[in-house]
Amino acid sequence: MLRSLSYHRRAHLALALAVAVATAVLAGALVVGDSVRGSLRELALSRLGRVERVVVPERAFRDRLAGDWSREGAGTTAAALVVRASARHGESGSRASGVTVLGVDAAWEALFPGTPLSFAQPEGQLFPPVLLADALARELGAKVGDTVDLLLPTYSAIPRETLVGRQEARETVATLRLTVAGLQPERGLGGFRLDTRQAAPLNAVVERSRLARAIDARDRANLLVAGGGADRGATGPSSARTNAKAALARAVTLADLGLKLSTRGDEVIVESDRLVLDDALARRLATSVREAGATPTTVFTYLANRLRIGDREVPYSTVAALAQQAPAAGAAPAVGPDIAPFTVDGAPVSPLRPGEIALNAWAAEQLGAALGSQVELTYFAVGPRDALVERTATFRVASVVAMRGLGADPSLTPQLPGLSDAARMNEWDPPFPVNLARIHPVDEEYWSRYRAAPKAFVAFADGQRLWRSRFGAVSSLRLTPPAGTSAATFARTLEMTLPRAIGPAAGGLAVREVREEALSAGEGATDFAGLFLAFSFFLLAAALLLVALLEGLAVEARAREVGLLGALGFPARAVRRRLLAEAGAVSALGVLAGLGGAVGFAAVMLYGLRTWWVGAIGAPVLFLHVRPGTLLLGGGLSLAVVTITLAIAIARASRAPAARLLTGEVADPMRASKRSALAWWTMVTALAGAAVAVTAALGAGERAAPALAFAAGALVLVAGFAALADRWGRGRSWNRRRAFALHGPAWLAAGARNGARNRGRSLLAAALVACATFVLAVVAVNRGEADVDPLARGSGTGGFALVAESDVPIVADLNRRDVREDLGLVASGSEASQAALAGTTVIPFRLLPGEDASCLNLYQPRRPRVLGAPAEMIARGGFTFQALAKETPEPWRLLDEELGDGIVPAFADANSATWILKRGLGDDVVLADENGRPLRLRLVGLLKKSIFQSELLISERAFVRHFPNRGGASYFMIEAPGGEAQAREVGEALEAGLAPFGFDATSTAERLRAFAAVEGAYLQTFQALGGLGLLLGTVGLAVVLLRNALERRRELAMMSALGFRRAQLGGLVLAENLVLLAAGLALGLLAAAAATAPHLAAQAARVPWQPLGLTLLAVLAVGCLASLSAVAATVRSPLVHALKEE
C-alpha cells in the first residue's frame, strides 16, 4: 500500500487537501461553539469576581444585614446600594443613561481582590470620589480628575403610587457631584452585573454611605453579595447554598422585612414602613402571631378629605376599618366581627354592617349627627398615572363613639409623612393637595388633642372596597398578647421569633445563586457550533463533494488496475476495501492537517465576529477557546463523514464490469440515453410542484409561506437538474445541425454537448454551483429591506415614532399639560418642537428589569425583561402578529384574558421567542413574582419583527398584580405627529425636559435597524461562508474540467491532427466549463426567484441587485479563471504524445 500511496501521491495530496478543508470546516464550527461558550463564561465570571450568590429584594434592608449574614455562616459578604441612574460629564455636559451606580464599602475588596476601594477624599478635591467603569468613562469622555454628576432616584419606602407616597416629579431625583478618582476595567467591579449580557455595563462605583445620604436611604442597602471564602461545609456547593439560605433566615430582622413593632397600652402594634401591609405578608403575620398566642386585630386607616352632613363638614379626617382577623387573599377578604369601640353611653358599639358608620363624639357634634343621619365621606383615590380622583361614599350613622379608647386613638393611624410630625394642621405638607383654608380652629384643637385619631369607623368590608390599593389593604395589626404576658415582653419575643416565623422570602429576601446562573447562561442563547455548521453547510458540502469527486476520479484513473485485480480473481469487495484503506490512510492525514485548519478557521470566524460581523453580537467579546475533546470529536466526525463519502465514491467508480475497467473506462456509454424519460418526467413533475408551491406560498400565512417558498425553490432546482440530466443524457440527432459549429453561440453549444461526455461529473459540478448560487441569492434578497412605512400601525414600530426609557421610573402622566408644565417640558425647545410636542402622545409601560431577550444578547436569558402594557396600548393595538393563540380582530385584548392562578398571557417577538427564548406559541416563560412565587408568562401572541424584541409584554393590570412595588413607568412608546424631523425634535425636547430621569429617546426605525443589523450580520456571515463554498465549488468545477480534458487528450490530439488549432481546442474546453458554470448560476438564480417571489410580492422588498450581481460576477470570474488554468494545463503539453499512448 505504501508503494501505491507513493505512486499516486499527486492524487492523494489533492484528496488530503480536500479532506483537510472539510475537517477544518466541521471541527472549526465546533471550536467556534466552544469559544463562544468559553468566552461568555469567562466574561460572566470575571464580572462577578468572587461573588457566588446574591440577595436582591425589591425593597431596601438594613446595611448591617451583610455583617449579620456573614456571622451566621454565609462566608464573605458585603452590602451595596445599587440604583439605576444617568450621568453627566461636569465639563462637557455629555450624558449617559442606563448607568448602574454601585454604592459599596471596603468589604467588597474581599470579593474583588486587587480592586482597592478607598473613598477617602484627598485634600483639595472638591467632590467625593467615584470610580468609573471603562465603558462609562468612554461614553462620557471622562478621565481621572474630571467631574461627573449622577442623577439618582431618591429612596422612599412608601410606594409612590399611593396617596401618601406621591411626590412631585422633580422631588424623586437627586444629584450627586463627584470627581473621577479612577477607572475600573470591564473584567472586575467595573463590569459587575447580575444580568447576563455581553455588553459592558456603565458602572459608577461610589461609597455606599455617600450614596445613601444623597438619595435619603441612610443605613440601607438593596443588594447583598456573598462568596469568596463561603462556608461550603463538608459537601461542597450545594451545602454552601443551603448554609447561605439558613444563615440568611437567622440573620434577618423585622426591620429587614420592613416591619416595626410598638406598644400601646396592652397591645402590640405591627406596622410596615411602607404604611401598608400587602395581603400575603398580613396573612403570614396574622397566622404567626396567632400561633404565638396573640389575638390580632386588623386595622385599615385612610384619609377622608371631608365628612359632611348637609352643610356641616369636618375637613381632613382619618377613618378606620377594623376586623378581628386578617383578611384572606384576594379582593373579597373574609371579614370577622368588627372591633367595636364603646358608645358614649358605655355600651359596646354593635358590629358595623356595610353602609354604616360610627362617628366619634367630637365628629358627631361637629356634624350635628344623629343615629340614622346620612354622612357623605369624600376621599382621594389614586387613579392611573398618579392622577388623584376625588370620590364620595354615603354612610348611615349607626352609632356614636365615646372619646376614649379606640374612639380617640391616634395609634390607629400610621405615621403619615408631612402630617404626623406637624404641630398644627395648617403646617401640614402632605404629598397630595390640601386646602388649608378649610381648617378651622376647632380642627386645630382636635389635632392638638387627639392628633390623627380616626373620627369615624366603617365596616371592614367597606374600608377594603373603597381604599384597597395593589399594595394591600391593611395599615397595621394590633395584637392582644396571650394572657399573663405584658405587651413589652410580647413585643420583645416577637422581635426574636417573628422574622423566622414569616421567613425572609416574605420580604423578598431570596438567595440567588448568581455564579451558577452565569455559568448556565454562558451556554449561550444561540448554539454557535450549530449556527456555524449551518452557515458553513455549503462550504462543507462543497468540500465533501470535492472529496467524492477527487476520489471518484482517482479510482477512475486506476480503472485498469481495478479491472486487472478483478480479472485476476480478487473479489470486488476486497478491491474496494483496499482502495478505501488507501484513501482512508490519506484522509486520516488530511484530518490531522484539517484540525490545525479548524483552529485557524475558528480563529478567523471569531476575528470576523469581533470585527466584520460585530453587529451580530454587539460587543467584541469572543476569543478562541480550544478544547482537545472538541478537536477529537470534530476529527472523528470528519473522518466518519469522509469515509462514508469515500466508500460511496469508490463503490460508484468501481462498479463497472472488469472487462470495461480493463479498457480504462468506467462509464457505460450506452447507459445515458436510457434515463432521459425519467429525467423528463422528473422535470415536469418538479416544475408543476414548484408552481403549486409558489401559488400556495402567496396565499399562505406567515408561518407556512417561507417553507412553501423554499420548497418551490428546491423543486425548481430538482427540475433544473433533471433538465440538465435529460439534455446531457439524450443523443443528438443531425437535424440539430445549427448547434454543430464552433463559432458564435454554437461554440457554447458545442461546450454544452461536451458536458454530456460525463453526465454525472457535469451534473455534480453544476449542481454545486446552482445550490450555492441559490442560497446566496435567497439570502441576498432576504437582506433587502422591506419598503414598509415605519409609521404604519401594522409595521414593526407599531406606528410609534419614538421609543424611550428612563433610568428613574416616572409616575406622572406625561400626556397631562400640568405635568408637562411641572417638568418644564412646555417651556423648553423651539416653537416647532413645541407644536410637535403638543400633538405627541406618550404611552408609558411599566418595566421589570431583566435580561435582554433579543438576538443582541449572546447569553441565554433566564429573567427576560417584562413590560406592562397599559390599557390605552391594549385599546390602541397595532403591530403585526406572526402567530396568535386565537384569531381575533383585537389581538392585544388577549393580554387581558384570565388564564388561571399564576398564569399571565404574554406577547413576545417571534424571532426572540423562537431563537433566544426557545419558546413557541402557547409555551410558558417562568419567572418569579415579587414574592418569589412562580409566575408563568404564557405566550398568546408572537409579534412579527417588532421593536419589542428585547422583552416580553403583559398587561399592566397583570404587571401591578404580580409586581406591585415596581412603581412608575420606565419604558415609553411615543406617537409624534409629522415626519422624522419632528419626531427627532420631540425626542430632543423630551430628553431635555426629562434629563433628571435619565430619559433617553430613540427613533423606533433606528431601534428596528439595530435588530435588523444583527440579522444582517448573520446573513452576511452566511453569505461569506456560502461564497467560500461556491469558490470551492468552482475549484471542483475546474478539477472536473481538467480531468475531462486530460481524459480527452488523445481526442484533442486527433482534432489537432485534423487541423484544429490550440486556441480552438482551448476555446472548446473553456466553453464546456462556462456552460457548466452558467448552467449552475442560471439554475440557482431561477430557483432563488421562485423561492423569493412570495416574499417580494408580500413585502415589496427591494432586491439588492448590486451586491447580488457583484457576488455572482465574482463567482463567474473565478470560475472562468479556474477553467482557463485548466485549459492552459490541457493544451500546454504536446498533444501528439497522446496519440502514441494507444
Partner 1 sequence: MSVAEPAAAPATDSPAVEARNLVKSFALGDTTLRVIAGVSLALRAGETAAITGPSGSGKSTLLHMLGTLERPTSGELRIAGADPFALSERALARLRNERIGFVFQDHHLLPQYTVLENMLLPALAFGRVDAARERRGRELLARVGLEARAAHRPAELSGGERQRAAIARALLLSPRLLLCDEPTGQLDAKSAAAVVELLLELHSDPAAAATAPALVVVTHNAAVAARLGRRFELVEGRCYEA
**Residues contributing to the site for partner 1 (CB under 8 A):** 669-670, 731-734, 737, 740-743, 753-754, 756-757, 1050-1051, 1053-1062, 1064, 1136, 1139-1140, 1142
**Which residues neighbour 6 within 8 Å (Cβ) at sequence distance 6 or greater?**
none
In the complex with partner 1, the residue whose CB is nearer, 731 or 900, is: 731
In the complex with partner 1, the residue whose CB is nearer, 681 or 740, is: 740
In the complex with partner 1, the residue whose CB is nearer, 440 or 736, is: 736
In the complex with partner 1, the residue whose CB is nearer, 741 or 1097, is: 741
Of the CA atoms within 13 Å of residue 545, those in its CB half-sphere come to 29
Query: Least separation, in Å, of the C-beta of 1044 and partner 1?
Result: 11
- Measured CA to CA, the distance from residue 491 to residue 481 in angstroms comes to 9
In the complex with partner 1, the residue whose CB is nearer, 743 or 886, is: 743
Strand partners, 130: 180
Query: Least separation, in Å, of the C-beta of 738 and partner 1?
Result: 10
- Measured CA to CA, the distance from residue 385 to residue 870 in angstroms comes to 10
In the complex with partner 1, the residue whose CB is nearer, 897 or 1047, is: 1047
**For residue 779, what is its C-alpha cell?**
439570502
- Measured CA to CA, the distance from residue 587 to residue 877 in angstroms comes to 60
Place of cell 439570502: 779
Query: Least separation, in Å, of the C-beta of 1009 and partner 1?
Result: 54
- Measured CA to CA, the distance from residue 938 to residue 902 in angstroms comes to 10
Query: Least separation, in Å, of the C-beta of 671 and partner 1?
Result: 10
In the complex with partner 1, the residue whose CB is nearer, 249 or 1055, is: 1055
In the complex with partner 1, the residue whose CB is nearer, 122 or 1059, is: 1059
Do residues 19 and 515 make contact, with C-beta atoms less than 8 angstroms apart? Answer: no
Residue 571: φ, ψ to 5°: -65, 145
Do residues 85 and 99 make contact, with C-beta atoms less than 8 angstroms apart? Answer: yes
Is residue 675 exposed (0-12), middle (13-18) or buried (19+ Cβ within 10 Å)?
A: middle
- Measured CA to CA, the distance from residue 304 to residue 434 in angstroms comes to 11
Query: Least separation, in Å, of the C-beta of 1057 and partner 1?
Result: 5
Of the candidates 176, 150, 170, 172, the residue with the CA atom closest to the CA atom of residue 159: 172
Query: Least separation, in Å, of the C-beta of 1072 and partner 1?
Result: 10
One DSSP character per residue, 832-881 reads HHHHHHHT-EEEEEEEE--B--STT--S--SSBEEEEE-HHHHHH--S-E
- Measured CA to CA, the distance from residue 650 to residue 582 in angstroms comes to 11
In the complex with partner 1, the residue whose CB is nearer, 716 or 763, is: 763
SS3 379: strand
In the complex with partner 1, the residue whose CB is nearer, 614 or 1055, is: 1055
In the complex with partner 1, the residue whose CB is nearer, 440 or 732, is: 732
**For residue 761, what is its C-alpha cell?**
461529473
- Measured CA to CA, the distance from residue 134 to residue 617 in angstroms comes to 19
Do residues 1052 and 1065 make contact, with C-beta atoms less than 8 angstroms apart? Answer: yes
Strand partners, 904: 937
Query: Least separation, in Å, of the C-beta of 745 and partner 1?
Result: 13
Query: Least separation, in Å, of the C-beta of 732 and partner 1?
Result: 6
**Which residues neighbour 372 within 8 Å (Cβ) at sequence distance 6 or greater?**
396, 397
Query: Least separation, in Å, of the C-beta of 650 and partner 1?
Result: 25
In the complex with partner 1, the residue whose CB is nearer, 481 or 751, is: 751
SS3 377: strand
SS3 309: strand
In the complex with partner 1, the residue whose CB is nearer, 93 or 734, is: 734
In the complex with partner 1, the residue whose CB is nearer, 737 or 1132, is: 737
- Measured CA to CA, the distance from residue 1000 to residue 176 in angstroms comes to 20
Query: Least separation, in Å, of the C-beta of 1086 and partner 1?
Result: 25
Query: Least separation, in Å, of the C-beta of 1043 and partner 1?
Result: 16
| Residues constituting the chain | 1142
Of the candidates 288, 312, 418, 421, the residue with the CA atom closest to the CA atom of residue 375: 312
**Which residues neighbour 1099 within 8 Å (Cβ) at sequence distance 6 or greater?**
786, 787, 788
Query: Least separation, in Å, of the C-beta of 719 and partner 1?
Result: 23
- Measured CA to CA, the distance from residue 810 to residue 822 in angstroms comes to 13
In the complex with partner 1, the residue whose CB is nearer, 701 or 1059, is: 1059
DSSP secondary structure code for residue 437 in this structure: G
Query: Least separation, in Å, of the C-beta of 603 and partner 1?
Result: 47
- Measured CA to CA, the distance from residue 43 to residue 135 in angstroms comes to 15
- Measured CA to CA, the distance from residue 359 to residue 345 in angstroms comes to 14
In the complex with partner 1, the residue whose CB is nearer, 746 or 786, is: 746
Query: Least separation, in Å, of the C-beta of 1135 and partner 1?
Result: 8
- Measured CA to CA, the distance from residue 680 to residue 355 in angstroms comes to 89
H or E, element range at 997: none
- Measured CA to CA, the distance from residue 240 to residue 231 in angstroms comes to 6
Query: Least separation, in Å, of the C-beta of 734 and partner 1?
Result: 5
In the complex with partner 1, the residue whose CB is nearer, 604 or 1057, is: 1057
Query: Least separation, in Å, of the C-beta of 1063 and partner 1?
Result: 9
- Measured CA to CA, the distance from residue 841 to residue 802 in angstroms comes to 10
Query: Least separation, in Å, of the C-beta of 750 and partner 1?
Result: 9
Three-state SS for 1024-1080 is: HHHHHHHHHHHHHHHHHHHHHHHHCHHHHHHHHHCCCCHHHHHHHHHHHHHHHHHHH
